[in-house]
Amino acid sequence: MKTINNAHNFHALHTLLLILLGLLAILYSSDAQAKAIAFPAECTACHGPEPRYQLKGAKEQYLNSGHYLGFAKKGTHAWYSNGGGCQKCHTHEGFLEFTQLGKIESDYIEWPSQPGCFTCHNPHENGDFELRTTKPVTLVSGVQVDLGKGTFCANCHQARTAPENVVKPTLAMKVSSHFGPHHGPQANLFVGNGAYEFPGKVYKNSGHRIEAKDSCIDCHMALPKGRYRSTPALGGHSFFLSDRHENGDVSLLTAPCESCHAGIKQLKGTRFFNVPAGDDYDGDGTIEAAQVEVEGLIARLVNAEGNGLLQKGPQALFTATGDWNVIQDLELERSTAEMAALFNYKFFVEDRSMGAHNLIYTVQVLMDTISILDPEFDTSTRPE
């Protein structure tokens, strides 16, 4: 009985072994099969182990960009700026609609997403990273601009309101706190088109228009040099020239400027570059860095002390603390001068470069704006 039993056990064990071997063989053969699968060659330029294009580095930077994070740094602007035409610039899907149809027809995007890789590139159809469109861009004034590769940025970074349509006497109650060019008039300032220009005055553009061939991209996408770059949040696909730390410190990227402005540095303790201004534009008695002069000019309109030209009196556009002044008076009318000043104030604040995009135009327009409200203002330093 015992022997039989043993033999029986032996057979059972043998069968089990065979099954196990069979299983192993199956496993092994599927492993061999996996090894035999060729990763499609047409994908390896981007997804292979030795990619030609550096997607991962670009992605690290993109995750630190305004396009991904948005101004509120919450990664939600595609959702709250979706509809009423906003989707053209704030959603991936809306921008594609715009590039395909030349306009926005959708009321809103059902499942919006933040502008990302496929908004600007079309790698799965093109096999490379060429930009989705290279067509010249028409600004709201009707003027067509070609800014090299930066033309692409101008599709979205442009004003949505032309001053000639809105700068006119207006009932104060009808002027909204959202009045202005909205929100990224960088392409307009870059070419000197889109602020309210005063009749009889001549306006010019700085050297950047001619010297920086690919405009926006030459400055905003340059990469810092060197082994340690400290952060993915500067240059490249972050598009940022400054990294603003939580403690208030700011690091600036000077690399893109160095080829033209030898020795350029961050002005200590500020978020500005040390490129000097040609003159004392803001009239404070000293010739400072160009962006500091512009800051001084803007402060003549609205400032922290509460004595800016747009803050004076109970009927002013802004309160002493710089907030929008809500007007109850049914009769009060804003003059053309006030509306022009408001438009231009918003234009240069929302551009955010403090004159760096186009210093001459910035200074000329701001000086004209200030002098229309304050005839005492000394305009002898206005660059001609």
Q: Which of residues 292-351 bind ligand HEC (CB under 6 A)?
A: none
Q: Are 338 and 346 in contact (CB under 8 A)?
A: no
Instruction: With CB under 6 A as the rule, give the number of residues binding ligand HEC.
Output: 87
- Which window, 69-77, 306-314, 321-329, 368-376, contacts ligand HEC (CB under 6 A)? 69-77
Indicate whether 204 belongs to the interface with ligand HEC (CB under 6 A).
Answer: no
Considering the complex, state which of residue 222 and residue 339 has its C-beta at the smaller distance from ligand HEC: 222
Considering the complex, state which of residue 29 and residue 54 has its C-beta at the smaller distance from ligand HEC: 54
Dump the DSSP string for 142-168. Answer: S-EE-BTBTHHHHTTSS-SS-HHHH-S
Task: Tokens for 11, please give them.
Answer: 């057979």
Indicate whether 119 belongs to the interface with ligand HEC (CB under 6 A).
Answer: yes
Give the nearest distance from C-beta 287 to ligand HEC in angstroms.
10
Q: What CA–CA distance (Å, rounded) separates 90 from 81?
A: 6
Which residue in 106, 113, 141, 149 binds ligand HEC (CB under 6 A)? 149
Q: Where are the beta strands (DSSP E) in the chain?
A: 137-138, 144-145, 170-171, 242-244, 250-252, 333-334
Give the nearest distance from C-beta 196 to ligand HEC in angstroms.
19
Q: Which of 276, 280, 277 is nearest to 380 (CA)?
A: 280
Alpha-carbon dihedral angle through residues 307, 197, 372, 349, given to the nearest 10 degrees: 0
Indicate whether 181 belongs to the interface with ligand HEC (CB under 6 A).
Answer: no
Of residues 74-93, those binding ligand HEC (CB under 6 A): 77, 81, 84-86, 88-90
Which residue in 112, 163, 184, 192 binds ligand HEC (CB under 6 A)? 184
- Which window, 2-10, 18-26, 202-210, 280-288, contacts ligand HEC (CB under 6 A)? 202-210
Considering the complex, state which of residue 318 and residue 373 has its C-beta at the smaller distance from ligand HEC: 318
Three-state secondary-structure class, residue 347: helix
Q: What CA–CA distance (Å, rounded) separates 126 from 6?
A: 69
Give the nearest distance from C-beta 185 to ligand HEC in angstroms.
8
Q: Which of 221, 258, 265 is nearest to 239 (CA)?
A: 221
Which residue in 64, 122, 215, 344 binds ligand HEC (CB under 6 A)? 215
Q: What CA–CA distance (Å, rounded) separates 201 from 209?
A: 20
Indicate whether 154 belongs to the interface with ligand HEC (CB under 6 A).
Answer: yes
Task: Tokens for 121, please give them.
Answer: 């590139």
Indicate the DSSP class of residue 108. S
Q: Are 156 and 95 in contact (CB under 8 A)?
A: yes
Indicate whether 228 belongs to the interface with ligand HEC (CB under 6 A).
Answer: no
Give the nearest distance from C-beta 139 to ligand HEC in angstroms.
10
Indicate whether 352 belongs to the interface with ligand HEC (CB under 6 A).
Answer: yes
Indicate the DSSP class of residue 140. T
Between the two ends of the chain, the Cα-to-Cα distance in Å is: 116
Q: Which of 371, 214, 218, 195 is nearest to 300 (CA)?
A: 371
x/- mask, ligand HEC, residues 233-272, rule CB under 6 A, reads ----x-xxxx-------------xx-xxx---------x-
Which residue in 93, 97, 109, 115 binds ligand HEC (CB under 6 A)? 115
Largest CA distance in the chain: 122
Of residues 26-65, those binding ligand HEC (CB under 6 A): 40, 42-43, 45-47, 53-55, 58-59, 62
Three-state secondary-structure class, residue 120: helix
Considering the complex, state which of residue 194 and residue 372 has its C-beta at the smaller distance from ligand HEC: 194
Considering the complex, state which of residue 254 and residue 333 has its C-beta at the smaller distance from ligand HEC: 254
Amino acid at 340: A
- Which window, 7-15, 143-151, 194-202, 306-314, contacts ligand HEC (CB under 6 A)? 143-151
Indicate whether 277 belongs to the interface with ligand HEC (CB under 6 A).
Answer: yes
Which residue in 109, 137, 172, 187 binds ligand HEC (CB under 6 A)? 187
